[in-house]
Structure 1
């Protein structure tokens, strides 16, 4: 039987590292997100395709970040290592802050080393077998980002990779929470990473009619909850959070951004790509997370929605939020600023949620202009950030295959 939430050690987030289309550091990403600044634009990597724009991590220089070490890494691994280094520095972790055998790494990714597979397949087709990089397989494996972070920092605890499509980053944080509660680790670096802005992935999503086709105005194409939404926009990057027990953080003088209170996960068991129109699976995950956290729906003051800007997905989530929390809870989606970062999305949004709690500031839903008359009249934060205390917040993530994952965070 699971112990009551109140008898467990509090788990706190003491470090945040991000590489996002909104900014290459957690500070710059947070500033842009609170300002509602959309950076979507035409992407030369997607030139000539049906959807030629994306949210790119513009300015990320792998050689500058990793030097000669960059060659064996696919971009999704480079993003992860950069974010992990930043998170550890932010947490003020030093060599004597931890026992490496008690530090774990849990990363989520939806697609993994897609760029490596695509680049090397083209080399094989154009130039023959001799031209294929001997490191193709280790570059592209889903688990290699977590393994590389562990190697980079000399960590000997569990190194795990989870893949639950667009819920992967949230699933990774929930898995990390379980490792800390079980006493298997003292510290876990957890998050998500994705570098899937490629011609094949973009075309695949476009063939599903999942992407926005607002090519005439890319910066306004991602419009969560808006009446004019017509699909999501691809994004890329990573977020890694440092999780540890509150008493351990306090012992080294760290308070933390927020507590990670609870986690819930479920499967729709409904359809390969479409959400259950009644939201049964998502509701189950959300209620599990609240029960795990030991909090009631009335205590939640903010929901960081998954809302990707798709007509069906946003509608299901809006009804879910109204059904559980009513219409008074503050709701935002940050995908109008970051795009949909797929397997990294949940980790980035958990980081933003933690910052909202710490700073009492909820970012706006960028590009939300016209309420959809077919959606419940929920309180969507828009037009500018909202200054308000946030004591308990929820961060939702949903993915293909009917994957649902929800986190509950609270103030320290």
Structure 2
């Protein structure tokens, strides 16, 4: 399988105020009137697109070969809660048309596409806390299939009182403090990136997703092991070549992850890092945030394995390498 070039990436984690000063005036205005998940998405995407050299003239024609693939565990959860609260308190006259327009989980991706005139594929998907890694995998497949030249891909989830209450009551038990974050990367078809002399951060080599029907079972792990093995095969990477692996399992599912790595990697023992110990559980942003961490920590040209494991049973694995120095 062909390698997909990573030309830029940007992340924001646990920010009180979403930074918008680096955005063009029109994009700032759009972000300022948007829901928080959209503001986070616009802020990170604007920085990533600028670093990749893909910010277009607002007066230019839309870019039919550049698009967006966004993963999110909760999407419009907070918007739906705000809309419902207003409706419950004041009846139909109090319902907000502006909020209603954002009560779909692809609202953030749509606003991003409009703001930057990205007329290529526009995809929003969810797979629990593994959503961001699944988005990177889907973007890789679209680029390999020739459906786009470049894609902004990654994940985002916003936190607020309704969601933190739901999590505290046992919804999607993640075992770590929930945290808000967005992490987006620019993935490009290699020829397109070379032709415009784009910067190179690294490359996606392979990926796979899986499912664990009973993740809390003491023998679970086959789904993740299968995903790791498939990603290694697609990337043509041997377990012993891995420079590091990024752990992602909730503490309660650490055994599942350990069994899966033992089954898929055999005697290979790459260095293990766990960004979630620093950032907390960032849900949709977790996988892309882990990839950015791995690219920064691994030696140039060395393959890294990024995992994602969600209490919902969704699991994923992605192989990448940082740019050679």
Q: TM-score when scaled to structure 2?
A: 0.89
Query: Does structure 1 retain, via aligned residues, the 8 Å contact 2:83–2:100?
Result: no
**Structure 1 counterpart of 2:312:** 401
Structure 1 residues 270 and 210: alpha-carbon distance in aligned structure 2, compared to 1, 3 A threshold: closer
Q: Deviations over 1:77-126 (max 9, x none)?
A: 11111111111111122439998111121000111122211222222222
* CA distance in 2 between partners of 1:303 and 1:81 (Å): 30
Find the counterpart in structure 2 of residue 248 from structure 1.
192
Among candidates 259, 263, 268, match of residue 212 of structure 2: 268
Check 1:67–1:92 CA distance in 2 against 1; reply closer, same or farther (3 A cut): closer
The yes-or-no answer on 1:194 pairing with 2:187 is: no
1:409 Cα deviation after fit: 0.3
Question: Secondary structure of the equivalent of 1:185?
Answer: coil
**SS of the residue 1:239 aligns to:** strand
CA deviation profile, 1:48-76 (whole Å, cap 9, x unmatched): xxxxxxxxx22325699654424652211
Partner of 1:203: 165
User: Once the two structures are superposed, what CA deviation does each residue of 1:182-205 show, in whole Å capped at 9, x if it has no partner?
Assistant: 01111111011111x233322322
CA change 1:249–1:98 in 2 (3 A) is: farther
The answer to whether structure 1 residue 59 and structure 2 residue 8 are counterparts is: no
In the alignment, which residue of structure 2 is the partner of 1:339?
A: 280
- 2:20/2:43 contact within 8 Å kept: no
Equivalent residue for 1:19, pick from 7, 12, 15: 12
* Whole-angstrom CA distance in 2 between matches of 1:135 and 1:63: 24
- Over 4 Å off, 4+ runs: 61-67, 96-99, 209-212
Contact 2:303–2:322 at 8 Å: present in 1 too?
A: yes
Q: Using the TM superposition, give the Cα deviation of residue 278 of structure 1 relative to its aligned residue in structure 2, in angstroms.
A: 2.4
Aligned equivalents of 1:67, 1:102: Cα separation in 2: 24
Superposition CA RMSD, Å: 2.5
1:86 maps to which of 37, 47, 57: 47
Q: Which residue is 1:392 aligned to? A: 303
Q: Distance in 2 between matches of 1:19 and 1:264?
A: 26
Say if 1:268 and 1:275, in contact at 8 Å, map to a contact too.
no
Q: 1:182 matched to which residue of 2?
A: 145
Task: For 1:352 and 1:240, locate their aligned partners in 2 and report how far apart those are by CA, in whole Å.
Answer: 12
Counterpart position of 2:77:
114
Per-residue CA distance 1:161-195 (angstroms, 9 max, x = gap): 11011110000000010011001111111011111
Count of aligned pairs? 317
Unaligned runs of 5+ in 2: none
Task: Determine the structure 2 residue equivalent to 1:281.
Answer: 223
Q: What is the DSSP-based 3-state SS (H/G/I as helix, E as strand, rest coil) of the residue aligned with 1:235?
A: coil
Q: 1:91 to 1:269 in 2, by over 3 A?
A: same
Match of 1:164 in 2: 127
Contact 2:66-2:151 within 8 A present in 1 as well: yes
Residue matched to 1:77: 38
Query: How far 1:147 moved relative to its partner?
Result: 1.0
Specify which of 291, 297, 322 is matched with residue 262 of structure 2: 322
Distance 1:354 1:138, change over 3 A: farther
Q: Which runs of 5+ in 1 are unaligned?
A: 22-56, 213-230, 361-388
Task: Indicate conservation of the 8 Å contact 1:261/1:410, yes or no.
Answer: yes
Distance 1:186 1:68 in 2: 28
Aligned pair 1:304/2:304, yes or no? no
